């Protein structure tokens, strides 16, 4: 579930958003980590920018 203008939550996965006005890509790598006490699948991600490969820790 994604709540617009509050936070992006993508069920424990990286949230990726392209902003046309700014011509940039926004990545949310938190993946619900801030809610780890309430969300079972919450985790933290990192992205290798060269090929956009995602790793979860």
Q: How far is CA 13 from the centre of its chain?
A: 6
The sign of the torsion formed by the CA atoms of 42, 43, 48, 53 equals: negative
pLDDT higher than 60, residue 1? no
Q: For residue 54, what pLDDT is reported? A: 92
pLDDT tens, residue by residue, 2-57: 444 555 667 888 888 888 999 998 888 888 787 778 878 888 899 998 998 999 98
In this structure, what token pair is assigned to residue 48?
Answer: 């290798």
The whole model's pTM is what? Answer: 0.61
pLDDT at 14: 87
Supply the pLDDT for residue 3: 47
CA angle centred on 37, ends 31 and 42, rounded to 5°: 20
């Amino acid at each position: 579930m994604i709540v617009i203008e509050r936070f992006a939550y993508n069920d424990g996965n990286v949230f990726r958003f392209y902003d046309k006005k700014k011509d940039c890509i926004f990545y949310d790598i938190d993946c619900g980590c801030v809610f780890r006490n309430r969300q079972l699948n919450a985790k933290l991600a990192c992205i290798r920018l060269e090929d956009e490969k995602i790793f979860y820790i």
